Amino acid sequence: MASQRQLEQQRVDQVIVEIKQQLKQAKKEYEKAHAETSSVEKNYLQNAKVNTTEVDDRMETNAEIQQQKQLVAKNIQTEQILKEQLETLKDLKKSPYFGRIDIQDPDETSPESLYIGTASLSDEHQNFLVYDWRAPISSVYYNGTLGQVEYETPAGRQETELLKKRQFKITDGQIQNMFDTSETVGDELLQSVLDEHSDEYMKNIVATIQKDQNDIIRDTNSDLLLVQGVAGSGKTSAILQRIAFLLYHSRASLNADQIVLFSPNLLFSRYISDVLPSLGEKNMRQVTLHEFFSRRLQGLKVESLFNHYEKQWQLTEAEKELNEEKKTAEFMAAIKDYADHLTASDLCFTDISLHGKILFSQAEIRQLYADQPVQMTPGHKFAAVKNQLIKKLNKLVKRKARSTQIQDQLEDMSSEQYLTLLGDKTKESFHSYDEERDYLGHQLASQQYEVIYDALYNDFFFDSYEQYGKFLQNKLPESAAGYSLALEYHQIALADCAPLLYLRDLVTAGGKNHRIAHLFIDEMQDYTLAQLIYLKHVFGAAQLTLLGDSEQALYASAQRPQALLENIAQTLDARKANLKLLNRSYRSTKQITDFMKAMLPEGENIQAFNRPGNRPLVCQVSTDQAALKALTKHLNASAAKYSTVALITKTMAESRQLYDQLRRDLPVNLLTEQDRSLPQGIAILPIYLAKGLEFDSVIVNNVSQAEYSSSEERGILYTICSRAMHELTLISQGGVTPLIKQIDPELYTLEQTLPVK
């Protein structure tokens, strides 16, 4: 292998020489483009400064400015492309590729060696020196074992013989490691990647994608792809590489703006923000469910998932049941049925007034609705009413424009106001003084009625909040009072958001976003069916990828994947639904994974990746003081060893309390819902904020019987433990929870401190 390694290093060196040449050329082109942009920009600014108050100059200047503006935009775009090329080449220079496959095509006489990297590179004769990891042939690297293999291409399925597969770890142009493997992607490289410590940002995994992950990444057929994967199995990683793959696969028709990812919290959004740029792609849009609902329910304080969790502890059984009902598909079906059968007299219309004077009364709006043909759908009727109202408003504005009041205002106008009213027009745009006068009068009247136009466009003549309240009174009367009370305080419970918005959209035929081609939902076990139905309704044209782990549901029982798929596919009306399971966990050491899996009734499905470490430590103490002492000791020790250490609690209140107790002695940081980045030092946070994240060392505060008494809390403890990569410490004040007691004592180390007499 030594001489093989020399040969491979020689090839790396040659490729780097080529990259350097291309870099030089690209730099030149970039600098040229940059100089051009600057000069056009300067020109544009100078032109824009021309005295535009001289009406004669205006038209000409306008046209010229428009032209310049377009030129600037085009140059900026070219400059941006060249900049991206430069970045790609710079990355390739450090590590041009990570894999090699030797293949024998049936119609070729000799085998061919192909090298695979994060981006493609060809020489001046168009020979591929490096293949992009997303190219059709690269799938062979991830998918096949040696021998006869198949791969998909735009022209159909192809066959080839895979003779050799080699993995490289190249840093700064030097091969650090290389392995030949017959495995899909062998364990050695993966082992060395997983041994690394975590940092603020997630990394791309393209060099070590596993076969089952590759199937998820390259699935282009399903309209609903459901991924159920155990904690740390690479679901989030798979989503991000899948997005990079889809962007490559459909380069001509898809851009990053057409992809939306629903992420669990703001910390997570930042944590994953580097992966796509590291693959030369733009980030997709990211939103949390809370942000999404808040934007659609402006003026209301939407309950967050976190508040929802925290409140669970205080709810009565009856209240919990009401909430549960609102989460179901049946509840959404009831909303649909209700919306379909609403008559004009049932609808909650409101008056539209200006300065206290009613312009359109609810009675008038109701009559307009009642006058629509019966066979029309509610949405069409609503749209027709809206159009008629806008027409009526146009007439009103026309009348107003000719009123003496407006004419008087025109007389008294300053020349500045006059120019603003003219807008894009010039004096010469009009044939007569009267025409100009009419135009200006119309402009002025329109301005005065702008709020009414806004109100009509935004459907403010319909009160969706009241309508939903009426629906509740009918369907779930016990919850109507609570809903109305919250509304009085401008608040809305999470469970009410999806049904209310669904009702609003159905009545008003609004709220849809057809532009989005792919919708990704991470941590889907935290979404109710009602929410999924609403998201599917909004993003009707999107292909769905849902990823989750029902064992990590914080307050719900786990559901079997196949049943979940059938349920969701049927509810969302999916035609090509596909279920993928990921059972191997990569995040944690074998010892931590074995401990976690023993917590679950069906944990035997989880396969640990064979990365060794210490067994989790359960530290049992008997007093408050001793607990705090143990906590301080272990936090200190972890912080000295690792870069990311987290103390994860069940609730925010517990996090706050610990923060107050520890902050004098330790560099601790309390994280809240608003935090977008992980600060240096030890993080203290409740589990719902740690969703999707990982830390070198995790400490759990109190795993006593009193704190984790029921199996309902299994999901919480499991999720907390599964955030640990290298070290897990659990402190228990008093007897440990039965969730741990039932675990084979061989799987952890028990440290007991005796009470001080």
Q: Which chain residues interact with ligand ATP by CB under 6 A? A: 190, 193-194, 203, 205, 208-210, 213, 229, 231-237, 549, 586-587, 692, 694, 722
**Kindly report the CA angle at 524 between 669 and 231, in degrees rounded to 5?**
65
665: three-class secondary structure by DSSP: coil
* One-letter amino acid of 176: Q
Q: How far is the CB of 2 from ligand ATP (least distance, A)?
A: 27
DSSP per-residue string spanning 63-125: HHHHHHHHHHHHHHHHHHHHHHHHHHHHHHHH---SEEEEEE-TT-SS-EEEEEESS-EE-TT
Q: How far apart are CB 97 and ligand ATP at their closest, in Å?
A: 16
Question: Which residue ranges make up the annotated binding site for ATP?
Answer: 229-236
Q: Is 208 helix (H, G, I), strand (E, B) or coil?
A: helix
Q: What is the closest distance, in whole angstroms, from the C-beta atom of residue 419 to ligand ATP in the complex?
A: 57
**Identity of the residue, 121 or 725, whose beta carbon is nearer to ligand ATP in the bound complex:** 725
Q: Report d(CA 653, CA 314) in Å as an integer.
A: 13
Of 209 and 635, CB closest to ligand ATP: 209
706 phi and psi, to 5 degrees? -65, -35
- Determine how many CB atoms are found less than 10 A away from the CB of residue 87: 15
Helices (H) and strands (E) in the chain, counts: 29, 26
Find the helix or strand (DSSP H, E) in which 212 lies: helix 211-217
Annotated binding site: 229-236
For ligand ATP, give the closer residue by CB, 160 or 236: 236
Of 231 and 297, which CB lies nearer to ligand ATP in the complex structure?
Answer: 231
Q: Which is nearer to ligand ATP, 611 or 650 (CB)?
A: 611
Name which of 280 and 692 has its Cβ closer to ligand ATP: 692
**Distance set, CA 429 to CA 53, 55, 432, 433, 551 (Å):** 16, 11, 9, 11, 69
Among candidates 308, 272, 276, which has minimal Cα distance to 290? 308
Nearer to ligand ATP, 133 or 586 (CB): 586
CB of 439 closer than 8 Å to CB of 479: no
Q: Which is nearer to ligand ATP, 128 or 201 (CB)?
A: 201
Residue 566's closest CA among 558, 554, 578, 556?
Answer: 578
Q: Which string of b and e fits 249-285 if b means at least 16 CB within 10 Å?
A: eeeeebeeebbbbbbbbbbbbbbbbbbbebbbbebbe
Decide whether 229 or 441 has the Cβ nearer to ligand ATP: 229
Task: Let me know if 509 is exposed, middle or buried by CB neighbors in 10 A (0-12, 13-18, 19+).
Answer: middle
CB of 694 to ligand ATP, least distance (A): 6
Question: How many angstroms separate the CA atoms of 72 and 85, rounded?
Answer: 20
Tokens 């490096």 -> residue: 130
For 165, phi and psi rounded to 5 degrees?
A: -135, 130
Residue 539, classed as helix, strand or coil, is coil
CB of 325 to ligand ATP, least distance (A): 28
* Shortest distance, position 195 Cβ to ligand ATP, whole Å: 11
Where do runs of H (alpha helix) occur along 458-579?
464-475, 477-488, 494-508, 529-538, 561-571
How many Cα atoms within 13 Å fall on the side-chain side of residue 753? 19
- Which residue in 540, 477, 478, 474 sits closest to 506, CA to CA? 540
Q: Which is nearer to ligand ATP, 233 or 589 (CB)?
A: 233
Contacts of residue 644, defined as CB under 8 A and 6 or more positions apart, other chains included, come to 197, 198, 199, 200, 678, 683, 694, 695, 696, 697
For the CB of residue 582, give the shortest distance to ligand ATP in the complex, in Å. 7
Query: What gap in Å lies between CA 456 and CA 466, rounded to an integer?
Result: 18
Residue 88: exposure state from Cβ atoms within 10 A (0-12, 13-18, ≥19): buried
| CB closer to ligand ATP, 459 vs 549 | 549
Instruction: Write down the least CB distance from residue 644 to ligand ATP, Å.
Output: 11
Of 144 and 499, the one with the shorter C-beta distance to ligand ATP is 144
Amino acid (1-letter code) at residue 595 = F
Give which of 676, 675, 687, 624 is closest to 651, Cα–Cα.
687
Query: Whose Cβ is closer to ligand ATP: residue 234's or residue 469's?
Result: 234
Residue, CB closest to ligand ATP: 234
Q: How far is the CB of 422 from ligand ATP (least distance, A)?
A: 57
